[in-house]
Amino acid sequence: MVSGLINANPVVYEKKERRVRSQPADKDEYAVEPIDQQEIFDHVRDIKDPEHPYSLEELKVVSEDAIELDDEHNYVRITFTPTVEHCSMATVIGLCLRVKLMRSLPSRYKVDIRVAPGTHATEAAVNKQLNDKERVAAALENPNLVEMVDECLAPTYE
Amino acid sequence: MENEGTVGLDCNFELKEVQKLEGHTDRVWGLAWNPVTGLAGVPSVLASCSGDKTVRIWQQAAATGSWECKAVLDETHTRTVRSCAWSPSGKMLATASFDATTAIWENVGDDFECVATLEGHENEVKSVCWNSSGSLLATCGRDKSVWIWEVQPGHEFECVSVLQGHTQDVKMVLWHPSIDLLVSVSYDNTIKIWAEDGESDDWHCVQTLGDSFSGHSSTVWAVSFNSTGDKMVTCSDDLTLKIWDTSLDLTASGSDSSGLWRHLCTLSGYHDRTIFSVHWSRDGVIASGAGDDTIRLFKEIPSDVHLQVNGPSYNMICKKEKVHSMDVNSVQWHPKVPTILASASDDGYIKIWELKAIS
Q: What is the structure's pLDDT at B59?
A: 97
Residue-by-residue DSSP string for B153-190: TTTEEEEEEEE---SS-EEEEEE-SSSSEEEEEETTS-
Question: Are A30 and A43 within 8 A, CB to CB?
Answer: no
Average pLDDT over all residues of chain A: 88
Range B288-314 average pLDDT: 82
Compute the average pLDDT of residues B118-145. Answer: 98
pLDDT band at B3 (very low <50, low <70, confident <90, very high): very low
User: Band of the pLDDT at A12, cuts 50, 70, 90?
Assistant: confident
What amino acid is encoded at A94 in this protein? G
Mean predicted confidence (pLDDT) in B19-33: 98
Alpha helices in chain B (DSSP H): none
What pLDDT is stored for residue B12 in this prediction? 85
Helix, strand and coil content of chain A, in percent to the nearest 5, comes to: 35, 10, 50
* B305 has pLDDT over 80: no
pLDDT of residue A22: 58
Q: Nearest-CA residue of chain A relative to B326?
A: A108
Which of A 49-68 lie inside 8 A of B, CB atoms? none
Residues 6+ apart with CB under 8 A from B260: B207, B246, B247
Q: Determine whether the interchain pair A134/B327 forms a contact, defined as Cβ–Cβ distance below 8 Å.
A: no
Q: Note the pLDDT of residue A147.
A: 96
The C-alpha atoms of residue B297 and residue B355 are separated, in whole angstroms, by: 10
At B235, the amino acid letter reads: C
- Digit-coded pLDDT (tens) for B142-159: 999 999 999 999 999 999
Nearest to B124 by CA among A122, A136, A158, A78: A136
Q: What per-residue confidence (pLDDT) applies to B22? A: 98
Residue B230 pLDDT grade (very low, low, confident, very high; cuts 50, 70, 90)? very high
Cα–Cα distance for residue pair B139/B166, rounded to 1 Å: 14
Q: Give the separation between CA B255 and CA B247, rounded to whole angstroms.
A: 12
Do the beta carbons of residue B178 and residue B170 sit within 8 Å?
A: no
Residue B8: which pLDDT band, with cuts at 50, 70 and 90?
Answer: very low
- Would the CB atoms of A110 and B142 count as touching at under 8 Å? no
Q: What is the pTM of this model?
A: 0.92
Minimal CA separation from A33 to chain B, in Å: 19
CB pairs below 8 Å between A and B: how many? Answer: 37
Name the closest residue on chain A to residue B26, using Cα atoms: A137
Q: How confident is the model at residue A87 (pLDDT cuts 50, 70, 90)?
A: confident
* Sheet-wide strand order for B350-357: B13-21, B350-357, B340-345, B328-333
Q: How far apart are CA B260 and CA B262, in angstroms?
A: 7
Report d(CA B42, CA B21) in Å as an integer. 20
Answer yes or no: are the C-beta atoms of B214 and B263 closer than 8 Å. yes
Closest Cβ–Cβ partner in A108, A131, A141 for B80: A141
Could you tell me the pLDDT band of residue A24, with boundaries at 50, 70 and 90? low
